[in-house]
Amino acid sequence: MWQGAITIVAIAIFNFCLIHMAPGSPVDVLAGESGTADPAMMEELTRRFNLDQPFHVQLFSYLWNMAQLNLGQSYRDNQPVVTLILARLPATLLLMASAIGAAFLFGLLLGVVSARFVGRAADEGISFFALVSYATPTFWSGLMLITLFSVKLGWLPSSGMMTIGSDKTGLAFMLDVGRHLILPTLSLSLFYMAIYTRLMRASMLEVYGLDYVRSARARGLSEARVAFRHVLRNALLPMVTMVGVQVGSILGGSVVVETVYGWPGLGRLAFESVGRRDYNLLLAILLFSSVMVIVTNLVVDIIYTLLDPRIEHGKK
């Protein structure tokens, strides 16, 4: 626990220094966007945002506020940053859950199939598909999916999270969100699916070569039972580690996919707050992501023990 807390404070200080090193201030941006500005108004804003204080004073007041769980106001939106983040969180969670879920499921499936038929056509095909998905930039696959499914075929919406102003409720609403979710999920999960497929394949093959698998076969167990009961379970450990690392990092949102699909999530908020030098908002998002990484690490450790009873906590 203490380790986690110290890590978070260190991350906060590091983020703060990094952000303030970027040239330009939120006042520059606000004044620049307007195209014209009044010097008195700029001074007033600088004072209101506390930017006229020396750097170390700003840093300490930030840390002091953070200790009291006060993350401050967004300079631009004039709202508490927590409100802004919480408003975007559901969209990000939904997209991430569906993307990681789909990637995990299909990655697992393809990896297992690939390992079972190693060296055969199915394996070759899957490996080729994984390589292509891995090498395709997300923004490009996103745009191509939009061009195909929403511009040419007209089957799916090109952006947003729901049909705006439709006032749908219940099942109709869920179906509507689902329709909007398909393309972003697809383009985001392709990349991760490729990683999981290759990881799962390699890990399965490794376990297949172990002695206990041979003895299981010798005992006359069916090939399917060997694959799912003996090999898969053990081969899952590296997958869980990988998923754990990635869940933590992408809970901060996917900038590219959210931008291409106009998905109102955290990644876009973070990206926009960089451009606007909205320090408070950006710091809060980064802090939130780092907390998420630490929490998912804990969860992954717990899942380990469920998968492999030999791993126990507290015993080294």
Partner 1 sequence: MNRRDLLKLGALGSLGSVLPWDGNPASLSGARAQTGGQPRRGGTLTYALTPEPATLFTANTVSNPVIIFGSKINEALVRLDFDYNMQPVLAESWDISSDRLTWKFNLRGNAKWHDGRDFTSGDVAFTCNEVWKKLHGRGINSFRNVAAVETPDPKTVIFKLSAPIPFLHTVLSAHEGTVVARHIYEGTNILNNPVNVRPIGTGPFLFREWARGSHLIVDRNPNYWDPPKPYLDRIIFRLIPDAAGRAAALENGEILLAGPNPVPLGDTERLGRVPHLEVFSRGQEYFAALIYLQFNMDHPILGRAEVRRALHHAINQEFLARNVMFGFGSVATGPISPEQKQAYTADVPRYPFDEARANALLDQAGLPRGAGGVRFSITLDAYTLGEHYVRIGEYLRQAFGRVGVRTTIRTEEPAAWVRRIFTNYDYDCTTMGAVLLADPTVGMQRFFYSGSIRQGLPFSNASKYRNARVDQLFDLCQVEGDPARRASYWHEIQRIIQTDLPLISLANWHYTSIANKRVRDWVVSPHAMMENWAGVWLES
DSSP 25-90: -HHHHHHHHHS---HHHHHHHHHHTTTTS-HHHHHHHHHHHHHTT---B-TTT-SBHHHHHHHHHH
Rule CB under 8 A: say whether 150 interacts with partner 1: yes
Rule CB under 8 A: say whether 103 interacts with partner 1: no
Q: Map the footprint of partner 1 across residues 228-287, applying CB under 8 A.
A: 259-262, 264-265, 268-269, 272, 275-277
Rule CB under 8 A: say whether 213 interacts with partner 1: no
Q: How far apart are CA 270 and CA 253, in angstroms?
A: 8
Quick one: 5 exposed, middle or buried, by C-beta within 10 A (0-12, 13-18, 19+)?
A: exposed
Nearer to partner 1 (CB atom), residue 88 or residue 198: 88
Alpha helices in the chain (DSSP H): 2-21, 26-34, 39-48, 55-67, 81-116, 121-135, 138-145, 170-208, 211-218, 223-225, 233-250, 255-260, 266-275, 279-307
What is the x/- site pattern for partner 1, positions 28-67, by CB under 8 A? Answer: xxxxxxxxxxxx-xx-------------------------
81 in Cβ contact with 74 (< 8 Å): yes
- Only one of the segments 11-19, 20-28, 171-179, 193-201 lies at the binding site for partner 1 (rule: CB under 8 A); that segment is 20-28
Rule CB under 8 A: say whether 137 interacts with partner 1: no
Rule CB under 8 A: say whether 209 interacts with partner 1: no
Q: How far apart are CA 176 and CA 174, in angstroms?
A: 5
Rule CB under 8 A: say whether 154 interacts with partner 1: yes
Rule CB under 8 A: say whether 18 interacts with partner 1: no
Nearer to partner 1 (CB atom), residue 91 or residue 186: 91
Amino acid at 110: L
Strand partners of residue 63: none
- Rounded to a whole number of angstroms, the minimum distance from the CB of residue 253 to partner 1 is 11
Q: Which of 61, 65, 147, 222 binds partner 1 (CB under 8 A)?
A: 147
Rule CB under 8 A: say whether 81 interacts with partner 1: no
Q: Which residues bind partner 1 (CB under 8 A)?
A: 22-25, 28-39, 41-42, 76-78, 84, 87-88, 91, 143, 146-147, 150-151, 154, 157-161, 164-165, 259-262, 264-265, 268-269, 272, 275-277
